[in-house]
Amino acid sequence: MCAFLLFLLPLPVWAAPIQPERTPLTLELLQERLRTPNLREGNLTVDLRQMVIDLRPEDVSFRDAFYQMLRKELQKTGAKPLGLDLSYSLIQGDFIGSDLGLKTPLYAQAIAPIFTPTEQAQLERLRLVCLQSLAVGLHNSKDCRSLLGTQSTVSSEVTVFRGALTLEQTRFNGEATFANTFFLQSVNAKNATFLQSTNWHETRFSRPVNFTSASFRQASNFQDSVFFDQANFKQTQFQEIANFQGISFENTANFNQANFKQLAKFNGVQWLGNADFSGVRFANQAQFTRANFNQLLSLVETSFEQAVIFRETLFNQPVDLRGTSILNQADFSDAIFSPAAFLNVPGLTFNSNQAKILGNPGEIGKMFYIPTLQGNQNVLRNLGQNFRQQQQVTDANQLEYTKQQLHLKELSQRLIGTNINSASVVNLINLGFSPTQANVIAKRREVKPFRNSSELLSLADIDLEIYTKLSDRLVVAEPLSLGSWLLEAWGWLALSVLLLLSGYGTNFWLVFGVGGVAIAYFGLLFWLVDRARRLHPTPIIPTYYETVAILTSFSCLEFFSLLAIFQNAEQPLLTLGCILMIIFPLPVALLIRLYQQGRYHDLMNISYFTEDGTFRQLRLLIGRLPVIPRNQTFRERYMPLLSDRHWNWLNYYDFSLNNLLRLGFNDIRLRDEHLPGIIATLAWYQWSLGVLYITLVLWTLSRTIPGLNLLIYLK
């Protein structure tokens, strides 16, 4: 009971929060502070800390005298500029900070001589920035436009605040205006509170700016401003509209853990340094239209509760979206990504049933980057479903291709990586661990197997450096038996072939190029074994015209097929190597054996290939086999190819097309009498490959045609 009564009693003085005691500012006190400025960090400063400054209209005489006296001292010529410190003060009424500076033209020949060479150089720097921005149509401020002479009636003057401005924990009850002001020294508004709207329109900051933990209760306007040095808005609270349109950040801009409760406008902003928005909460729409990010944009663990717009935005460096939450819509339409730019999205929180990501069809899907499949399968699934719902099949397929590449990488690591749950101490040492570290790992896994590689850091002898160095070569899994290893190896091989030959069913033109190479190659082989049989005793060889025709057509078909492969394959040389491994070794070995043993059989002068003489039309030959049956009726229907026709070489391509794609202009098959087994084996080998190829074609078509794609994936 006593404890409860003590809890209800008022807090003692020592336990109450400390509030600064403010002194009402009078003209006499102001005059005294102006006469005796303080020296802080090597700069003279007018000390108006912990004051109550009443600038309300009820006391016009004090307000006018305040500005007049302060302006006179701040604009006074001298070697060292005079700063102003309003920390912990309460400003009642509107504060017009732009009236305290010195107005000067931006023209180099008209800059006031009271400025030091350093200050004149800063003004010239502003002038150059204006000219560069105007040259590309980015800056629209009055003083900048006047430099081009396009609007002679517009004043080119800018208000220059020469000294440092300190507003740490200052409270502004009225509006605060610093429009069209050039701060030559730093501005520190840490923990400042602005209860009414603030106007920083067309303001220039030559030195670092600090708005850390500041609170803007009403609209804040920084439009068309320039930050030459670091801009710090860490943990800043924007309760109403925040207008940063047309700004140029020449250095790093830090909005880490800021909070935007209303509309945030960053349209047309130039980010020449890194832009840090990590941990920011956008409760309303965020606009970055036509912005230019020259360096890294960090959106790590940023929350977008409403739409975020990056239309026509230029990204020169990666965009870090790790752990970002997109709850409504992210629009990257017409955004431009340089070769070094991409969207880093591991851990992205995104539900495709409630939100969506927009982008140019066929382009946006290539911009997503995920380093590992583990922990990101849901991200890839949601992104893929997002683009399928928008019928952007190419982008959805690109994400599926990325997913399977990561899966292949995991399989490769499991097959050849060092499993820390089963590797011997010697293998761990050979990998790069010290003997002490290897023994510690062996003892730890005897007690409890490792579940993931990061558990190595829990061991005292394993440091971050060695872990980072070896993490890519480590595998944490159950030890594989020989049978399991062979199954994993078969899965790795099949997945590798699908990725190389079809982009895992996502690239029809790549499949088309692969088929073109095979059709032309086997067509040439069949022509060779049929038309070039022997040189003696009686030569059976093709004519000069036919040889030139077949070689020319083969070169053309291979050229266009290889062109399709090199334009569509991510690794064209590996794709070409995979094709050669399939179509080259066995057929060439059969061909060499055929010419080694020679051909001595009946019907040597008649073609091995026969055609159906009853029809000549384009046919879909699904059930066709490469050799005609042993039946007299079929022998009467199928007649040998005529070797004395100039167009005869086309029949061999037709036969190759029939074998591989089950499609041809005529039904051409091998005869059943006096046929060398090697030639039959060659035809059956291509026919078997055709079963696999036509399956690959149909699978790829089902994934690349929008209607079939939606039928399969959204059923």
**Average pLDDT of span 464-475:** 78
Instruction: Name the 3-class secondary structure at 42.
Output: coil
Q: Residue 576: which region, alpha, beta or left (left: phi > 0; alpha: psi -120 to 50)?
A: alpha
Plot region of 676 (φ>0 → left; ψ -120 to 50 → alpha; else → beta): beta
Q: How many CA atoms are closer than 13 Å to the CA of 514, on its beta-carbon side?
A: 37
225 touches 183 (CB < 8 A):
no
More reliable by pLDDT, 70 or 446:
70
Per-residue pLDDT at 714: 46
**DSSP structural state of residue 540:** B
Give the SS3 label for residue 126: helix
Length of the chain (residues): 715
- Does the pLDDT at position 574 exceed 90? yes
- Per cent of the chain over pLDDT 70 is 89
Q: What is the pLDDT of residues 247-293, one digit of tens each?
A: 999 999 999 999 999 999 999 999 999 999 999 999 999 999 999 99
Q: What is the per-residue burial (b if ≥16 Cβ within 10 Å, else e) of 352-370?
A: beebbbbbeeebbbbbbeb
SS3 category, 536: coil
How far apart are the C-alpha atoms of 86 and 171, rounded to whole Å?
9
Tens digit of each residue's pLDDT (9 = 90 or more) over 320-333? 999 999 999 999 99
- Nearest partner of 176 among 60, 239, 96, 62, judged by Cα: 96
Under the banding of pLDDT at 50, 70 and 90, the label for residue 17 is very low
Place of tokens 């569509």: 568
Q: How far apart are CA 222 and CA 431, in angstroms?
A: 56
Provide mean pLDDT across the span 381-399.
91
Q: What is the C-alpha separation between 74 and 161, in angstroms, rounded?
A: 8
pLDDT of the residue at 257:
96
* Angle ∠(55,57,58) on CA atoms, nearest 5: 100
Longest dimension (CA), the chain: 128
- DSSP letter at 631? -
The position carrying tokens 């609007």 is 151
pLDDT band for 313, please (50, 70, 90 cuts).
very high
C-alpha span between 628 and 635 (Å, rounded)? 8
Residue with tokens 């303080």: 38
Name the pTM for this structure. Answer: 0.83
Q: How confident is the model at residue 706 (pLDDT cuts 50, 70, 90)?
A: low
CA atoms of 642 and 16, how far apart (whole Å): 109
Instruction: Tell me the average pLDDT across 156-176.
Output: 89
Closest alpha carbon to 627 in 613, 642, 638, 615: 638
pLDDT at residue 112, rounded to an integer? 55
- The mean-pLDDT minimum among 279-288, 471-480, 483-492, 558-567 falls in 471-480
Question: Helix 393-416 crosses helix 677-704 at what angle (to 10 degrees)?
Answer: 120
DSSP state of 227: E
- Chain centroid to Cα 35, Å, comes to 58
- Does residue 115 sit in helix, strand or coil? coil
pLDDT of residue 639: 85
The average pLDDT across 519-526 equals 96
| 511 pLDDT higher than 60 | yes
Min mean pLDDT across 261-265, 348-352, 443-447, 575-579 is at: 443-447
Q: How far is CA 264 from CA 282, 306, 526, 544, 573, in A?
A: 8, 11, 69, 76, 48
519, 507, 499, 505: which is closest to 560 by C-alpha?
A: 519
Average pLDDT, the chain: 86
Question: pLDDT category, 630, cuts 50, 70, 90?
Answer: confident
pLDDT for the residue 709: 52
Distance CA 312, CA 337 (A): 10
pLDDT of res. 369: 94
Is the pLDDT score of 131 beyond 80? Answer: no
Predicted confidence (pLDDT) per residue in 220-242, tens digit = 999 999 999 999 999 999 999 99
Confidence check: pLDDT of 157 > 90: no
Strands 90-92 and 220-221: unpaired
List Cα–Cα distances, 358 to 190, 377, 389, 643, in angstroms: 37, 20, 11, 59
Whole-number Å distance between alpha carbons of 558 and 565:
10
Three-state DSSP state, 304: strand
- Reduce the DSSP state of residue 194 to 3 states and report it: strand
From residue 608, alpha-carbon distances to 386, 518, 629, 646, 655 in Å are 55, 21, 14, 18, 12
pLDDT at 513 (0 to 100)? 96
pLDDT of residue 7: 37
Strands 336-337 and 368-369, how do they pair? unpaired
pLDDT over 50 (residue 6): no
Rounded Cα distance between 582 and 493, Å, is: 13
